[in-house]
Structure 1
Amino acid sequence: MTTCRLCGSTSLAGVVDLGATPPCERFLTAGQLDEPEVTYPLHLRVCTDCWLAQIPPLITPEDTFTEYAYFSSYSTSWVEHAREFVKESADRLALDDGSFVVEVASNDGYLLRHVVERGIRCLGIEPSKNVGQAARDSGVPTVTAFLGPEVGATVREEHGPADLVVANNVYAHIPDVVGFTKGLRALVADDGWVSIEVQHLLTLMEHNQYDTIYHEHFQYYTVASAQRALAAGGLSLVDVELLPTHGGSIRLWARPQETAGEPGERVGRVLAEEKAAGLHELSGYTEFAARVARVRRNLLAFLVEAAEQGKTVVGYGAPGKGNTLLNHCGIRADLLRYTVDRNPYKHGRFTPGTRIPILPPERIAEDRPDYVLVLPWNLRQELTGQLSFVRAWGGRLVFPIPTLEIVEVSR
């Protein structure tokens, strides 16, 4: 990778090199275990001109999202987050039965179902055929497409301009960030709003959340770099919210440049926080690799010691971030016997690279392991409640990030 995908600069500096891993959602069937598995370098760099953190676009969105293993509705806390967003947005923007809402990367309709319930006209744009069909089956109008300027213009022509365009957890997933942003601008009405949620690079680095670096995520945003990316597509950032989701996210509120006006006070405040953390200069990135190495050493030391003591450790969840962690640490089934997941799509499959079996959640109660390693640590509150039953046999939960923590589940 020699040039920045946002500004074209050749001034790219290394942040952390995680070696080479398979794509994080390419779960293996039993029949694929004896076949070769392709891995790709996973090296995060930052552009010292526009400060967009990025990895090389070695796989395409079509490789990942045509058939996708992630269904948003399996996270109850995420569905509730979406419901609250719809309620707040409807109030904030005075959305009613005469409005039109479009969500890009709408997954299985986890968010737009709440729009449908309010009687507001809506449309999902979802590239994955299988999850898009699940949305249609639940009554959410959905087209199968990857957003770009042409698709945005076609949807606008067929359905009209959108009062609100939502793009949650997708702005990091597209290598053509300028083209995608132009697609958002094509969708939104000239006086409309665009709402984007994406992980905040500030919290990613402060809390060692390096497992969220994987091949589906092509870039990692500060508010400063997001502001530049939006401008490149004809949108202006007018407000920002700091959210706890995914370990720390930003909700960007943008409008067409012609009608946006000046950014609000919260934009300036978050920009100042980023600058104070050193993320608008190279110095803020230089110690991250050492902190990542410490997370790896601590987790491996725990797993090796547990194995030496004859203790059983299993996993909970099979998220994309978990596969970055497992591959970077070199964890195999001798240290983590299996992991479980609520998504039936993954049952009977194996994690990419590390080839750890994925089983239904009920298996934990059957086997009564000593420790459960929680891989989707960002859902800590939700999963601590779901796993409270492990206290019946003295089982404990293990959270690997931001630092290794072993938790006894309270009543």
Structure 2
Amino acid sequence: MRCRLCSSNRLLGILDLGATPPCEKFLTADELDCPEPTYPLHLRLCEDCLLLQIPALITPEDTFTEYAYYSSFSDTWVEHARRFVDDAVARLGLDEHTLVIEVASNDGYLLQHVVAAGIPCLGIEPSHNVGAAARARGVPTMTEFLDEQLAASTCAEYGAATLVVANNVYAHIPDLIGFTRALRALVADDGWVSIEVHHAMNLVALGQFDTVYHEHFQYYTLLSAARALATAGLAVVDVESLPTHGGSIRIWARPDVAADQPSPRVRALLSAEEQAGLHDTAGYLHLAGLAQSVRHELLRFLLDCRDQGKTVVGYGAPGKGNTLLNYCGIRSDLLEYTVDRNPYKQGRFTPGTRIPILDPRQIAKDRPDVVLALPWNLEPEITEQLRYITEWGGELMFPLPRLHPAAA
């Protein structure tokens, strides 16, 4: 394996999570007796450019041609997108004469707000099923994987974009250099690119190992993201720290020809990363120990629940949850089932651990003693949704950053 950013062969093992199936390959009942392929899940750090990455053992086509994740099933995420659109309209002066393009636009969760504002827009979404949901919502969407050729033809047909949005996709692309060039080809010379990614500083500092899975090929600090964007002539000019996904960053970049000096927020965050040790290999070496601590604590809790005769079920079936379940070896003897609001997942089984996924209404029917929330990054939203379990004395638990109950 060579670094996909700088081609160095100096890759240092940081976290080995064993071998797991792809996190979004939910099984149907007919597939339970079939072989299930697994792939190593081993996080490495390039000692030269400091990009965190895993080998590209699956392709985006394997994962995203039909995809199980619909952004709009999270109320928090839809509201996050609405606020972003409102802010971007004010910040950039977006109107009926501008164009917004979102890459990996999913089911139209964000661009629906652009449409409502009367601003021309286009979604580029590779998944047939979620792209169809976006079009049904009235969001213009093409079903394609973005590459340099598609970027050139899109720009020729629609014109260059004032704003290109790439939320939670920059980690999903094994051809990092080619994808970055495609982003540059979509944006006007005086335009803007907005990218949201989970911040590797939180991954490392808080032991958020479950954000590592096969469709996430790389994991960014601001430093490594800026280095990647620079390969296509895009310069980071501003950054925002966000609470989403356990701690993310929103990077604002512009073509070199239009870029001003980086804002004070860029300089401050780079300094914070350096102080955390992330501009050197030594700052990453404790991650494996944090992951092991989470696994041991969670397994002790679930085993104690079983010994006490308590019923434990899950809430949510996110990709991160499948990394957690597989790494910890949790199966239906410890987690009877999980539930999910997404009808696509209901009636299926989690990859690897094969835990049934049911309708959320099953919790009220069964009145379990404990509910383990797998999308822990949505703690406020889930705490409110499941407040009713206190009626029978049920306890809501979150596994990360350390195992803890929901706030009263």
Q: Which residue of 2 aligns with 1:403?
A: 402
Q: Which residue of 2 aligns with 1:29?
A: 28
CA deviation map 1:11-34 (0-9, x unaligned): 110110000000000000000000
Q: Which residue of 2 aligns with 1:305?
A: 304
TM-score by length of 1: 0.99
Q: Which residue of 2 aligns with 1:235?
A: 234
Task: State the Cα distance separating 1:234 from its structure 2 match.
Answer: 1.9
1:326 lines up with 2:339 in the alignment: no
Alignment of 1:278-289 (within 5 A): 278-289=277-288
CA deviation map 1:19-57 (0-9, x unaligned): 000000000000000000000000000001110000000
Task: State the Cα distance separating 1:97 from its structure 2 match.
Answer: 1.0
Alignment of 1:258-407 (within 5 A): 258-407=257-406
SS class of match (2:290)? helix
Instruction: State how far apart, in whole Å, the 1-side matches of 2:22 and 2:29 are.
Output: 17
Instruction: State how far apart, in whole Å, the 2-side matches of 1:63 and 1:367 are.
Output: 36
Alignment of 1:150-161 (within 5 A): 150-161=149-160
1:244 lines up with 2:217 in the alignment: no
| Residue type of the alignment partner of 1:291 | L
| Residue type of the alignment partner of 1:194 | V
Task: State the Cα distance separating 1:406 from its structure 2 match.
Answer: 2.6
Instruction: State how far apart, in whole Å, the 2-side matches of 1:27 and 1:124 are.
Output: 26
Instruction: State how far apart, in whole Å, the 1-side matches of 2:405 and 2:327 are.
Output: 21
1:104 lines up with 2:103 in the alignment: yes
Q: Which residue of 1 aligns with 2:174?
A: 175
Task: State the Cα distance separating 1:379 from its structure 2 match.
Answer: 0.3
Task: State the Cα distance separating 1:259 from its structure 2 match.
Answer: 1.6
SS class of match (1:131)? helix
| Residue type of the alignment partner of 1:223 | L
CA deviation map 1:301-339 (0-9, x unaligned): 000110011100000000000000000000000000000
Q: Which residue of 2 aligns with 1:118?
A: 117
SS class of match (1:190)? strand
1:15 lines up with 2:14 in the alignment: yes
Instruction: State how far apart, in whole Å, the 1-side matches of 2:405 and 2:112 are.
Output: 37
Instruction: State how far apart, in whole Å, the 2-side matches of 1:207 and 1:87 are.
Output: 31
SS class of match (1:346)? coil
Contact 1:13 1:46 in 2 (8 A): yes
| Residue type of the alignment partner of 2:7 | G
Q: Which residue of 2 aligns with 1:41?
A: 40
Instruction: State how far apart, in whole Å, the 2-side matches of 1:44 and 1:258 are.
Output: 35
SS class of match (2:249)? strand
Contact 1:238 1:264 in 2 (8 A): yes
- Give the gaps of 5 or more residues in structure 2: none
Task: State the Cα distance separating 1:263 from its structure 2 match.
Answer: 1.4
| Residue type of the alignment partner of 1:164 | L
Alignment of 1:139-150 (within 5 A): 139-150=138-149
Between the aligned residues of both structures, percent identity stands at: 66
Contact 1:317 1:341 in 2 (8 A): yes
CA deviation map 1:236-287 (0-9, x unaligned): 1111111000000010000111221321111111000000001111110111
Which consecutive aligned stretches of 4+ in structure 1 deviate over 4 angstroms post-superposition?
none
CA deviation map 1:204-253 (0-9, x unaligned): 11111110000010000000000000001221111111100000001000
Instruction: State how far apart, in whole Å, the 2-side matches of 1:391 and 1:265 are.
Output: 46
| Residue type of the alignment partner of 2:60 | P
Alignment of 1:124-143 (within 5 A): 124-143=123-142
| Residue type of the alignment partner of 1:265 | P
| Residue type of the alignment partner of 1:35 | C
Instruction: State how far apart, in whole Å, the 2-side matches of 1:179 and 1:273 are.
Output: 30
Q: Which residue of 1 aligns with 2:60?
A: 61
Q: Which residue of 2 aligns with 1:212?
A: 211
Alignment of 1:183-198 (within 5 A): 183-198=182-197
Task: State the Cα distance separating 1:343 from its structure 2 match.
Answer: 0.2
Q: Which residue of 1 aligns with 2:161?
A: 162
CA deviation map 1:55-82 (0-9, x unaligned): 0000000000000000000000000000
CA deviation map 1:343-401 (0-9, x unaligned): 00011000000000000000000000000000000000000000000000000011110
Contact 1:181 1:234 in 2 (8 A): no
Contact 1:22 1:39 in 2 (8 A): yes
Instruction: State how far apart, in whole Å, the 1-side matches of 2:131 and 2:405 are.
Output: 38
Q: Which residue of 1 aligns with 2:252?
A: 253
Instruction: State how far apart, in whole Å, the 2-side matches of 1:13 and 1:80 are.
Output: 39
- Give the gaps of 5 or more residues in structure 1: none
Instruction: State how far apart, in whole Å, the 2-side matches of 1:113 and 1:321 are.
Output: 26
TM-score by length of 2: 0.99
Instruction: State how far apart, in whole Å, the 2-side matches of 1:7 and 1:258 are.
Output: 24
SS class of match (1:241)? strand
SS class of match (1:345)? coil
SS class of match (1:180)? helix
| Residue type of the alignment partner of 1:46 | L
| Residue type of the alignment partner of 1:107 | N
Instruction: State how far apart, in whole Å, the 2-side matches of 1:153 and 1:253 are.
Output: 22
